[in-house]
Amino acid sequence: MRKFSSYGPPNNKLHYYAPREALITEALTQLKGEVPDEGGHYITVWASRQTGKTWIMREVVLTLKQESQFDVVFLSLQYLQDVEDVNRVAKLIARKLIQQLNLEKEITIDTVDDLERLFERGTLSKPLILILDEFDALEQAVIARLVGVFRHIYTSRQNQADKSTAEKDYLLHGMALIGVRAVLGVENVKGSPFNVQRSLPIPNLTHDEVGYLFNWYQQESGQSIEPEVVERIWYEFQGQPGLTAWFGELLTEKYNQTTDQPITMNHAKEVYVAALDLLPNSNILNLISKAKQEPYKSFVLELFQTKTKVKFTYHDPIINFLYMNGIVSVDQRHEQRGSENEVKFACPYVQKQLFNYFAIELYHKMDDLYGPFEDLSDTITEDSLNIPRLLQRYEQYLQANRELVLKNAPRRDDLRVFEAVFHFHFYLYLTRFLDSYEAQVQPEFPTGNGQIDLLIRHAGQLFGLELKTFADQRRYRKALTQAVKYGKQLGVTSIWLVLFIESVDETNRQRFEVDYTDNETGVIVHPQFVQTGNA
């Protein structure tokens, strides 16, 4: 029986995979050309890590090899990633090409300037389609020189529009460079040799493709999966192929002890907790290693703020780097004032992993939350939880320990503490305060950015806390309606809107800490300030 696999490109005979026929057809059309005799295109195939670039292009190669019109070569260049001598790289690429094409004619490639000779008519017997995987693994200087060679070949072929593809001086008919960043030309000051409109971005799996994978498993295994489970997988991973397949593996193998029983939502939640806290994932470890470096760390911390959205543009090198490494994505909104592209985290699972990592990095230890003989019954008992009192206790703790809490906190360029710092600290405070009562605290991020919610489960009850920074009255009113919607989604009758603010007087506490009841849903929002500045 097939399995889910996230360890490199899936094997079509052994693993579950989404056919992705439209993408494969698009790649074929571009490499062969709309009119093949006129020549194909030189394209870039790009996406963030673990999105299936290599697998798609392998499928393209298998299809092309069934035709006799072209020679087709697929080379992986990752093994050359540390080679700084561009002439040596050119020589090694040429050696691989000569081997795969079985070139009988003796040809020597000693320098990068010689490389173009390998693609001349006479050296090659028929048009060649060349696919270079992991192209962006090469050193930047090496990439720039190779790009120059391919630009020359491409331009020369374009200048011979009166000849068929097989009659041109160079027979490099079509070419694909596969990578995640440098092939876009963003980091190459001399530009890209290809028209970026001929690029082929590889998106995440669609909602239907995720459903296809798990329906295939159900049909083959005979084990049913509750529809809510598949919907949750789609929501948490947003179709990211590597993470989706990894969780599929956990769900159907590692944590699937009773295969004669359906996979339920309760079981999936337990597996998800293990995926968050217990099991290392190379993809997550890689993106954390990128996100914790400056200048990217400051941007990621700022992205957790709840005041404003951040505009998405590929031309921003920080956004581009985070996008290509699977940390952020683009949120395309269509509002009355027109379409807007905003930065959001790649998926809720990635956002939770980053939130947990930075929270623990900043506040690994948090002691003396209350005295050993202190009566906590005004806040929590075995069967009750008083959220307003809990928030008061946190504010008192923050005020008493503010200097220590903010001592090593990261700060923005204006030296103000990142908004996210207080969210991290509040989250860990709740986790540790409620630990002895075995209450669960879980962060949620319904929109990918701009909204942070904490869910507390205690004594069979669910408490929702939406965290915001109080900016102005307009956004306060918007936050109330937003909290209503989230309360309705959670299925609760009341929800707390926690408003962080540097300073607030008693008059404004009484003015804004007023319960808001939504007439349509009946959901009650309880606003409450948490003062972060000195009292």
pLDDT of residue 448: 63
With pLDDT > 90 as the criterion, what percentage of the chain qualifies?
65
Name the 3-class secondary structure at 318: helix
**For 194-237, how does the pLDDT look when each residue is reduced to its tens digit (9 = 90+)?**
443 477 889 999 999 999 999 999 999 999 999 999 999 999 99
pLDDT of residue 188: 46
pLDDT of residue 332: 76
pLDDT of residue 315: 80
Q: How large is the average pLDDT for residues 244-259?
A: 94
Sequence letter at residue 493: T
pLDDT of residue 195: 46
Q: How large is the average pLDDT for residues 22-35?
A: 94
pLDDT bracket for residue 419 (50, 70, 90)? confident
Residues 6+ apart with CB under 8 A from 174: 30, 31, 32, 33, 39, 40, 41, 42, 43, 70, 127, 129, 130
pLDDT bracket for residue 535 (50, 70, 90)? low
pLDDT at 118 over 60: yes
Q: What CA–CA distance (Å, rounded) separates 189 from 237? A: 35
Q: How large is the average pLDDT for residues 238-250?
A: 95
pLDDT of residue 48: 81
pLDDT of residue 258: 86
Burial 301-328 (b: 16+ CB within 10 A, else e): bbbbbbeebbebeeebeebbbbbbbbbb
pLDDT of residue 351: 93
pLDDT bracket for residue 257 (50, 70, 90)? confident
pLDDT at 506 over 50: yes
pLDDT bracket for residue 294 (50, 70, 90)? very high
The answer to whether the peptide bond before residue 127 is cis (omega within 30 degrees of 0) is no
pLDDT of residue 418: 87
Q: In this structure, what are the phi and psi dihedrals at residue 462, rounded to the nearest 5 degrees?
A: -115, 125
**For 57-86, how does the pLDDT look when each residue is reduced to its tens digit (9 = 90+)?**
999 999 999 988 999 999 999 999 899 999
Instruction: Give pTM, 2 decimals.
Output: 0.87
Whole-number average pLDDT of the chain: 89
pLDDT at 447 over 90: no
Neighbours of 118 (CB within 10 A): 22
**For 154-186, how does the pLDDT look when each residue is reduced to its tens digit (9 = 90+)?**
999 999 999 999 999 999 999 999 886 544 443
Residues 6+ apart with CB under 8 A from 184: 44, 46, 192, 196, 199, 314, 320
Burial of 470 (0-12, 13-18, 19+ CB in 10 A): buried
pLDDT of residue 16: 96
Class of domain 21-201: alpha beta
Q: What CA–CA distance (Å, rounded) separates 427 from 355? A: 10
pLDDT of residue 517: 96
**For 365-414, how does the pLDDT look when each residue is reduced to its tens digit (9 = 90+)?**
777 888 889 999 999 999 999 999 999 999 999 998 888 888 888 888 88
How far, in whole angstroms, is CA 465 from its chain's centroid?
A: 25
Q: What CA–CA distance (Å, rounded) separates 30 from 39? A: 10
